[in-house]
Amino acid sequence: MTQDIQDRLQGFKARFLARCREDAAALRSGTLPPVEVQKIAHRIAGMAGTLCLHDLGKSAAALDERIAEALPYDTELDALLVQLSLI
């Protein structure tokens, strides 16, 4: 991998992590409707795996799936917030 590609990936990861911090604050607020929580979870799940943040991706995917099934999701939301606090 060239240095240019590595630099671009680092920049991409930095932007993703900054967005995750914003998302975590929004999720902690408890004011988002389920559809917005699901959008955040889906976005995080998709990008986390690409950036080798597998535990974060798994937690986000579990939350995304739970909301898609119209099931209670407090446990999955809490798990995602824990993962977000670790980044």
pLDDT in tens, the chain (87 residues): 799 888 888 999 999 999 999 999 999 999 999 999 999 999 999 999 989 999 999 999 999 999 999 999 999 999 999 999 999
Q: Which residue matches tokens 């409707």?
A: 33
Please report the pLDDT score of residue 36 as a whole number.
Answer: 99
Please report the pLDDT score of residue 74 as a whole number.
Answer: 98
Q: Which residue matches tokens 């976005």?
A: 43
pTM over 0.85: yes
Please report the pLDDT score of residue 26 as a whole number.
Answer: 98
Per-position b or e across 56-68, b if 16+ CB within 10 A of its CB? bbbbbbbbbbbbe
